[in-house]
Amino acid sequence: MEIIDILKQAIETITRPPRRKYNINSLPTTLISDDGHQYKRYPVENLIIRGHQIIGSLYSEISKDIKEGGPCVIYSHGNASSQIEGLFLIPHLCHNGITVFLYDCVGCGESDGEYITLGYSESIDLQLIISELSSRYNFDKFILWGRSMGAAMSIMCSHPKIVGAIADSTFSSVRDIIFSVTENQLKMPKFLSKIIVWFMRMVVLDSTDLDINDVSPIDSAHLPNKPPLIIGHATNDDFIPYSQGENVYHKYSNDEVTLVQLSHGHNGKRSTKWYKTCFSFIFEKLNIAQYDLQIRHFKGIHMYDDHFASAMDMINNERVGISEMKTSTIDQEQNSNIMTFEFYPLDYQP
């Protein structure tokens, strides 16, 4: 592929990456696990942000009144993914009285919108979503959990009801991502990388009014009144280098920040230790006692990870980690309003 073609496709992936489509009617209304717990999905309707309809779902234990308030964990997906990415949270959190909100960002999944902004406008949207959910459902505390673009959003978002955040594979800025791709993957000299960054900035600004210089979690990190934060980043991440997460960690204004080294790259399977760290953090910040926290993987949930291994894979639209058969499973079950999922053994390796 010629450099000019790569540039054209790279510009498109910034604002219009491959869209993860699915059948919204296939999302279950009831989820049943083999540990005896049942959960209910509540579609959040008429959630309009920037003139766009946001498709989102609240999940809670079936016996809970969804409007009784309490804590809520919001999961924000990656730039080419959807709310399906966060389903794994439901059986770990909802039976502890926590409500989970999953949604498609503007321009992603089944939500309205043509373009994304890699977290800039999305972080403002997230702030508005928190206010709207608080008003409708009386939630008093929020924890944000995001991956990749969603991680950047979770760092950039500001709201007084946020009591903690988890950022899996954040970038430090869009400029840093472009420099990383051009210098490390395309092996371009620095002076040429600077020209490319300038060129991409001008083209994106002209087409979408987005200034990529504004998309900078590291600049948000040093602002005051930031909540406690956990950053997880793979040391062998080929998409967003580990150093970017590390730099955000060092700039973060709240001393209660933890950097966790992960493995298996940008989109690899996360370890039980990582999940245990994150869920323990959530329960601590929400003052929920946990004496014997068990982290278990679930059949029918982790198969829906929908990511790219590297920037070049995204440019070439080559998804990894899923097969066509697996991604279509949720669509094939559209005639059923019930999803049943079983526990994997702790040593299971999908």
Query: Is 347 within 8 Å of 271 (Cβ atoms)?
Result: no
**Chain segment 257-288, per-residue pLDDT in tens:** 999 999 988 888 888 899 999 999 999 999 99
How high is the mean pLDDT of the chain?
86
Query: Is 260 within 8 Å of 230 (Cβ atoms)?
Result: yes
Rounded to whole angstroms, how far apart are CA atoms 254 and 293?
26
Say yes or no to pLDDT of 11 above 70. yes
What token pair was written down for 81? Answer: 């993914």
Measure the CA dihedral 21/350/101/15, to 10°. -40
Rounded to whole angstroms, how far apart are CA atoms 16 and 245?
24
Compare 340 and 342 and report the one with higher pLDDT: 340
Q: Which superfamily does CATH assign the domain made up of 3-18+29-306 to?
A: Alpha/Beta hydrolase fold, catalytic domain (3.40.50.1820)
Measure the CA dihedral 6/82/220/211, to 10°. 40
Residue 309: the pLDDT is 58
Poorest-pLDDT segment among 156-160, 293-297, 312-316:
312-316
Query: Is 143 within 8 Å of 180 (Cβ atoms)?
Result: no
Compare 185 and 40 and report the one with higher pLDDT: 40
pTM, to two decimals: 0.89
**Chain segment 62-101, per-residue pLDDT in tens:** 999 999 999 999 999 999 999 999 998 998 999 999 999 9
Give the count of beta carbons closer than 10 Å to the beta carbon of residue 61: 17
Picking from 73, 76, 181, 160, the residue whose alpha carbon sits closest to that of residue 121 is 76
> Quick one: average pLDDT of 307-322?
54
Rounded to whole angstroms, how far apart are CA atoms 317 and 312?
8
**Chain segment 89-134, per-residue pLDDT in tens:** 998 999 999 999 999 999 999 999 999 999 999 999 999 999 999 9
- DSSP-derived secondary structure for 49-84: ETTEEPPEEEEEETTS-TTS-EEEEEEE--TT--GG
* CB crowding 272-292: b at 16 or more within 10 Å, else e: eebbebbbebbbebbeeeeee
Rounded to whole angstroms, how far apart are CA atoms 67 and 120?
30
Which uninterrupted H or E stretch holds 126? helix 120-137
Residue 349: the pLDDT is 43
Rounded to whole angstroms, how far apart are CA atoms 176 and 244?
8
Residue 283: the pLDDT is 97
Residue 311: the pLDDT is 57
Phi, psi of 54 (to 5 degrees): -95, 130
Residue 82: the pLDDT is 94
Read off the pLDDT band of 2 (50, 70, 90): low
> Quick one: average pLDDT of 50-61?
97
Picking from 56, 53, 55, 58, the residue whose alpha carbon sits closest to that of residue 42 is 58
Residue 207: the pLDDT is 86
**Chain segment 12-37, per-residue pLDDT in tens:** 778 888 899 889 888 889 988 877 88
